[in-house]
A and B are shown apart, each in its own frame.
Chain A
Amino acid sequence: MSKKSFRQAINEALRQEMQRDPRIILMGEDIAGGQGGSAGVVDAWGGVLGVTKGLYTEFGPDRVFDTPISEASYIGAAVGAAATGLRPVAELMFVDFVGCCLDQIMNQAAKFRYMFGGKARTPLVIRAMYGAGFNAAAQHSQALYPLFTHIPGLKVVIPSSPYEAKGLLIEAIRDDDPVIFLENKVMYDDEEEVPDEPYTIPFGEANLTREGDDVTIVAFGRMVNFANEAADRLEKDGISCSVIDPRTTSPLDSATILECVEDTGRLVIVDESSPRCNMATDVAALVVEEAFESLKAPIRRVVPPHTPVPFATVLEKLYLPDAARIESAVRSVMAYKKTKQDA
């Protein structure tokens, strides 16, 4: 056990799994970097943010493949390789680039097993960065997990910390279905204690990061940290919150969410993806359908506005949910109860 960054945790998961299973290969744009350059320094980058650094040097050109900037071909190749005996981990760099290769994910990888009558296995992981907060603007900041969650046949993972990232990525690599693994780009330098040995965290099992009686907060990815921060502050004012990190949006641990809402009677959902048809609407629909009677207040969604992600810092801060907004949503659902009692 030692302190590791989100970046190091992911790198370690990849390295340990590649040591375990020779069928695991990596591909992506500049995941080594420096191929064909004038200086000839290969493994110059290790990915644009250094997540795969050192893996080319350790595993060589038969396991780690730099690709041309050509998402449709190499994501499709990852799908084809997965269906024919390899276990590829492809890096899409920014998840926004899925616009260039959605067919290979949506119509090919996700459909093979069902469409071929259960005879195909496509053990594929696609890693990509998501999220606002980096001044990366509209085409490099989206949180597109609802898009993938919508597609039957895909599994979708959003780790909220370095510990979670390592365990969930190892689980993803060992899984026999196509998995979309989304890393919040603002979190790469976050650090916490991470075991040195390999371990897995099962999909579809939510993590209860805070336990409380008054309000349930369901938050995704980086938003889990903001939800914890808000819960800790509210605790001081005597408002006790449960915080649920679902870890995976597909499969989704509906049971834990429902049980928790039945206990607290109030629900705030924090989701940094665009507000229409996102995970917040999905969880709200689930709770309204299955736990309506236990609700003491309307469900509140803490989500961005229905706009592209803006560039300027001042606008981006307004765009993204934060601890203060979560706190205020929690206070509003608590206040709703008081109003009703007064009336």
Chain B
Amino acid sequence: MQIAHNILLRSYRSMRTIRDFEERLHVEFATGEIPGFVHLYCGEEASGVGVCAHLTDTDTIASTHRGHGHCIAKGVGVEGMMAEIYGRKTGVCHGKGGSMHIADLSLGMLGANGIVGGGPPLICGAALSHKVLKDGGVAVAFYGDGASNEGTTLESLNLAMVWQLPAVFVCEDNGYGEATGASYACAGTQKARAAGFGMPYFECDGTDFFAVHEAAGQAIAHARAGNGPVMLHVHLARWYGHFEGDAMTYRINGEVARERAEHDCLKNFRQRVTEVSLLDPSALDEIDASVKDEIEAAVKAAKSAPLPEPADLEADVYVSY
């Protein structure tokens, strides 16, 4: 599939933004200045970006607790995200959600989710909204290989088929649910699970933007055309621990280094587009420099942003009470 230049540039910028955002969080978290815990998306950038390249603000996504990448891919601004992660009043959720609950409903971002398997039922509902309101939108549930074993996910696959919803179930399979391998925890295959519900199945190498873009394009087009839900199984690797501070003693030495060396979606993207002269390397360099400045500014702003005030504690529990 030929991808337009502006889409390529925008996608590269999104992937670079996610990478730099997460690498910077890795550094900043170690200083102890960031409260709570964070789950990094490094190594998985091409998945969120390759899928979201086919979406508009009308479309809805639900994310996971590893949600920063999905937020950025769906267009949530990094300054508000960084401030949120620092627990500041200027954060996208005014410091009340934190890393695991970043959401922006105006962009169709239904939230990162601290509950494994929390997203798929919500996405059935968002897809129902698109169907009933006839706005042409699709709803996409990102969920991990760990969440693929949750009853909520399996029930949602069934409900989406029963109601023939414009829903896309993107299984981001990074091989680990926390510290337990998918080879231990997932019986059968994702493909067979989709087939069990009569659901069309697509899969791709999630470290290759072009592969994700191609497969997601087909999957989303199927759902958007009113042909019912689909599953997209994305094979990925996680570069950091389940959460920051996880020493990953359950992974063999060199596993991550090999992934970084051989399956870096950004390096591979650059090589691919410059080899065939699709994009000029200087255009990518410009993006790299601009994103570096943007992340720097976001961190600086977050660190100096005001904290929530005592009055915020009891605000916004209800619309009215």
Is A bound to B? yes
Q: Are A251 and B121 in contact (CB under 8 A)?
A: no
A155 within 8 A of B: yes
Bound form: Cα–Cα A197–B135 in Å: 33
Encoded as 1 (CB less than 8 Å from any B CB) or 0, chain A from 72 to 84 comes to 1111111111111
Q: Which residues of chain A (126-179) have a CB below 8 Å from chain B? A: 152-153, 155, 175-177
List the A residue with the shortest CB-CB distance to B123. A80
Please state if B124 and A80 are interface contacts (CB–CB under 8 Å): yes
B133 within 8 A of A: yes
Which chain B residue has the least Cβ–Cβ distance from A103?
A: B115
A107 interface residue (CB < 8 Å to B):
yes
The smallest beta-carbon distance between B155 and chain A, in angstroms, is: 4
A99 within 8 A of B: no
Q: How far is the CB of A151 from chain B (nearest CB, A)?
A: 10
Q: Does B302 contact A (CB under 8 A)?
A: no
Give B145-165 as 1s and 0s: 1 = Cβ < 8 Å from A's Cβ atoms: 000000110011011001100
Chain B residues whose C-beta falls within 8 Å of the C-beta of A177 in the assembled complex: 318-321
> Which A260-281 residues have a C-beta within 8 angstroms of B?
none
Interface set, chain A 100-139, CB cutoff 8 A to B = 103-104, 107-108, 111-121
Please, how many residues of chain B have a CB less than 8 angstroms from a CB on the other chain? Answer: 48
* A residues near B104, Cβ cutoff 8 Å: 119
In the complex, which residues of chain A have a beta carbon less than 8 angstroms from the beta carbon of B96?
114-117
Q: Tell me if B30 counts as interface (CB < 8 A to partner A).
A: no
A309 CB to closest chain B CB (Å) equals 26
Cβ A116 vs Cβ B103 within 8 A: yes
Given contacts A72-B151, A107-B118, A251-B321, contact A83 B110 (CB under 8 A): yes
Report which of B101, B159, B315, B319 forms a contact with A77, defined as CB distance below 8 A. B159
Chain A residue contacts of B110, Cβ below 8 A? 80, 83-84
List 17 interface pairs A-B (beta carbons < 8 Å), by A numbering: A25-B128, A25-B132, A68-B158, A72-B152, A72-B155, A73-B120, A73-B152, A76-B118, A80-B126, A84-B129, A88-B125, A103-B152, A107-B118, A108-B122, A113-B317, A118-B94, A153-B318
**A residues with CB within 8 A of B:** 23, 25, 62-63, 65, 67-68, 70, 72-86, 88, 103-104, 107-108, 111-121, 152-153, 155, 175-177, 204, 251
3 nearest A-B residue pairs (beta carbon): A76-B121, A80-B125, A118-B316
Q: A84-B60, A204-B321 are in contact. List 7 more A-B contacts (CB 8 A).
A: A65-B163, A68-B162, A77-B121, A80-B129, A86-B125, A117-B93, A119-B104
